[in-house]
Each structure stands twice: as C-alpha cells, then as structure tokens.
Amino acid sequence: MRILVMPDSFKGSLSASAVADAIASGVRAGAPTAAIECIPLGDGGENTIASLAAPLQLQPVQVRVHGADGSMHASTYYRSADGQTVYLQAAEVVGYADYVRPGQSGLTLSTYGIGEILQSARQAGAQKAVLALGGSATTDGGIGMLQALGWQLPGLAAQQLASGADLASINALAAPADWNMTVTALVDVDNPLTGPRGAAAVFGPQKGLSIEEITVVDQELQRLYPHAVAAQAGSGAAGGLGAAVAGPLGGNLQSGIDYVLDVLKVDAKLKAADLLITGEGHLDDQSTHGKVLDGLLTRLRAVHGHAKTVALCGVVSHAGAQQLGLDLALAISPGNQTLAEQLAATADNLQYVALGVARLVNHE
C-alpha cells in the first residue's frame, strides 16, 4: 500500500513537517508494511516558504527590519542559489501571532518591513520575488510596503510609517521611476480587496478592527485601488497586500497551494497513491477557498488519482468536509481536553488517530 502524508501546519501548534512526522509515526505502527512518503505543504500561509526551502535549495538570510508595530524585528527570508530570486513569508515580518492582541486595533500595524526586505534584496541584485501572504496581522492595503519601496504617498505625514490608520489621509500612490522587480504573491484565500468578502469585512474582526473601522478601510481601499485590481481573487489577502502586488508593483497573484504542488512535482505521486492523509488545524468553510485541502483534493481529481482521502484536523466542519469531497474527516482531540491541552497534545493526538486510520485501512 502506498500512503502519502501531505498536511498543512496546525496554526499555533505544529509546523507542517511536525504534523507529517506525527501522522507518519501513527501510520507506521498501524500499517508497518505500507510505503509511506511525507510531503509537508503550505498554501501561501505560514510555513509555505519553509516548505520550499529544501526542494529549491534556498539559502536563508537573516535581517533586521521594522516589524508591524514599528519596532525593529529580527526576520528571515530566503534567496535562490544564484541570488536572482528571493522568497519571503509575510508572517515572518507582520505575523498575526506576533502582533494581534486583545483590545488593540490592527489599523496601527504596517507592512513597511516587507518593503524593506524587498528593497534590500533588489539592491543586492535580486530581480524576482516570491511573497507568501498568509498569516498577516495587517490591514493597510500594502501602503507600508509601498512606502519602503519608494512610493510617494501624498498626504502622509513626514517620518511616519504608513499603516491602515493613514489610508484616509493618502491622496495617491505615486510610483518611483526605478521599480523593476517581478513579484509573485502566493495567496491562501480568494477574497477580493473590498466588499462583503473583502479584506476588511472578512478578516478585519480577527485583527481588532471595529465595525466603524471596517467601513472606513473598505471605502478608502476602494478609493485608492482601481476596480480591476480590487476585484481580483486574492487581492484581499494579507489585509490588501495582494492588491498592492497586483496593482502598484505590477505583479501577479497565484494560488499558493498550486504553486507549492507544482514546485514539489507531486502529480505522479498523487496518481499512484492508495491513501492520501492530509490535515489542517481547522476544517471549515474557508478550507474550500484556496487552502491546502481544497487545492490538494482538486489536484488529486485532476490527475485521476484513486486514493482514499482522509483529513485529520483539530476542528472539523462536516459541511466543509462534504463540500471538499473527503472520504473521511476526523477531529483529533478528545472532548475532555481544554484548548491549551489540545494544542500541547497535538502531536500525540495526531499519532493516535492516524494509528486507528492505518489499522482500519490495513485490514480492508
């Protein structure tokens, strides 16, 4: 039996590699003769660039840049062996887990540090950038990044890092004459920039925006960005950072999971597999819109794979699982654990449930 273990990370708990290792450990115990291959995945969200580092032989670069709150922040990006392409995870600079706090408005946070990294990479000779957008704390429409890259923002006070709170003050986005980098943004959502499914309306509440702030941000993003940019799927990713890439930077937005699956060259493996075990922290309606599970199962069908599909998750929405077309979706946590206990026991819970799945499959 050929078993593929291809999970996403479990946010706040385990990286995709650690999730894959825990599942594989349980599977080996339950199906000792099976051929098991682990392929950790990312979809543009956290750990996406890390999942590409080894396959692409990327070299890490340590830097200090402005974090989302304006303080100096140690961060890491990657560059290709020839130095021509850089790879950056937005969450490394403006990560949700690092900056979102109860009672604090996310409007004061800025993507300036992302622009600092891109500018530094340009000066070092890089011509291309791959930017994974998921997991950000910001809702500034990317104006902080643009500011660091040399865009003029008329109306913004001098010596001030642009944040979402400044959107209403800015009159225009004026490009520098020397911008020449090709940027690809990997998105893990298909939300447009504005409207009821836009960056502010959908993700603003998670980032501390009030109802009034959400309304203002949505209006100002509509004013600053052309409709053709704002309507693009994924332009609302990372609080509108997707729109800044697709519009001012002249870049392109791409499904993060599709990009990762292509880089990892998994089509033949998916077609040959008998069992596909995947997973993510929370399987819900959003899982059907560009996340790992959605992209992975779509690719399995595209290559005409015959594998049975199982998702192991912290929380499972049965409607979401049905919409994805999974054969089986299991919540791994026993009902008597608190959230803190569940997070601490994620590896053990994954291993135990994977053991049960493997035993059932092994005795079919």
Arithmetic mean of pLDDT, 41-63: 91
Q: Which of 132, 185, 111 is nearest to 9 (CA)?
A: 132
Q: Cα angle at 83 between 147 and 93, to 5 degrees?
A: 40
Tokens of 195: 């409207």
| Cα atoms in the Cβ-side hemisphere of radius 13 Å centred on 286 | 14
Model confidence pLDDT, tens digit, residues 298-318: 999 999 999 999 999 998 988
Residues 80 and 228 in one domain: yes
Tell me which residue has tokens 């130095």: 83
Residues 116 and 214 in one domain: yes
User: What is the per-residue pLDDT for 180?
Assistant: 92
Residues 236 and 295 in one domain: no
Residues 102 and 216 in one domain: yes
In a domain, 249, yes or no: yes
Model confidence pLDDT, tens digit, residues 218-251: 999 999 999 999 999 999 999 999 999 999 999 9
User: What is the per-residue pLDDT for 337?
Assistant: 82
Residue 364 confidence (pLDDT) above 70: no
Residues 242 and 223 in one domain: yes
Residues 25 and 68 in one domain: no
Q: In Å, how far are 117, 128, 364 from 218, measured between CA atoms?
A: 27, 30, 53
Domain finish residue from 238, 256, 274: 256
Residues 64 and 208 in one domain: yes
105 falls in which pLDDT band (50, 70, 90)? confident
Q: Which amino acid is at 174?
A: A
Least trusted range by pLDDT, from 12-21, 97-106, 180-189, 268-277: 97-106
CATH assignment of the domain containing 55: 3.90.1510.10
276-296 burial by CB neighbour count: b if 16+ within 10 A, else e? bbbbbbbbbebbbebbbbbbb
In a domain, 242, yes or no: yes
Q: In Å, how far are 3, 37, 69, 226 from 20, measured between CA atoms?
A: 12, 9, 33, 42
Question: CA 289, CA 55: separation in Å to the nearest integer?
Answer: 26
Residues 330 and 221 in one domain: no
Mean pLDDT (the chain) is 93
Arithmetic mean of pLDDT, 102-114: 91
Tokens of 248: 């001012």
Residue 27 confidence (pLDDT) above 90: yes
CATH assignment of the domain containing 284: 3.40.50.10350
For the chain, state the CA radius of gyration: 21
Model confidence pLDDT, tens digit, residues 248-270: 999 999 999 999 999 999 999 99
Domain residue limits at 328: 2-39+266-362
Tokens of 54: 């080894």
Domain finish residue from 198, 223, 256: 256
Q: Which of 99, 219, 109 is nearest to 162 (CA)?
A: 109
Residue 7 phi/psi, 5-degree rounding, is -100, 165
Arithmetic mean of pLDDT, 114-121: 97
CB 297, CB 289: distance < 8 Å: no
CB 30, CB 356: distance < 8 Å: yes
User: What is the per-residue pLDDT for 340?
Assistant: 86
Number of domains in the chain: 2
In a domain, 80, yes or no: yes
Residue 132 confidence (pLDDT) above 80: yes
- Percent of residues, the chain, with pLDDT higher than 90: 80
Residues 273 and 300 in one domain: yes
